[in-house]
Amino acid sequence: MTDDTEAGGKIDYAEVMRRLPHRYPFLLVDKAQDYVAGTSITGVKNVTHNEPFFPGHFPIDPVMPGVLIVEAMAQTGALLMSKTMDVAVEGKVIMFMSIDGVRFRKPARPGDQLHMKVVVTKQRGDIFKFRGETFIDDKLAAEADFAAMVVTVDAPVS
């Protein structure tokens, strides 16, 4: 058994920042729990009224855009891949490849906490396929099947 499963598989914000290249306003995972290498993870996103999308979506009745809930699931999957494969952020990026069967069941609003449960359904080399489900207050809010892969990126030319 690895240290990850013995410690409850927790990933704090500092490790999220080391493993994902995303930054404000596009980093949509605050921490993770229940990490099991190559198998599953649960990402956590605290939705606050200060999110940059709420003034325009919608001022009177703020709702987190569904596409950002899907992105939060994808970032959770990327976090699982990064930790499982020990992918360095420098020179590599985990890219979203496909998405199928997206369903939205419950809107996310300020004050909600998203729990993105992501399970690996298939892995082949640097390509992972996932099943993601996002819960708010233990109720299914969104679900999707998606895939991602590790891509080597060229260093910027100076």
Residues with catalytic roles: 57
Give the CA angle between residues 37, 32, 56 to the nearest 5°: 135
Q: CB count, 10 Å around CB of 64?
A: 24
Q: Which of 23, 39, 29, 35 is nearest to 114 (CA)?
A: 29
C-alpha 32/C-alpha 117 separation (Å) is 10
Tokens 């999957």 belong to residue: 77
C-alpha 128/C-alpha 77 separation (Å) is 9
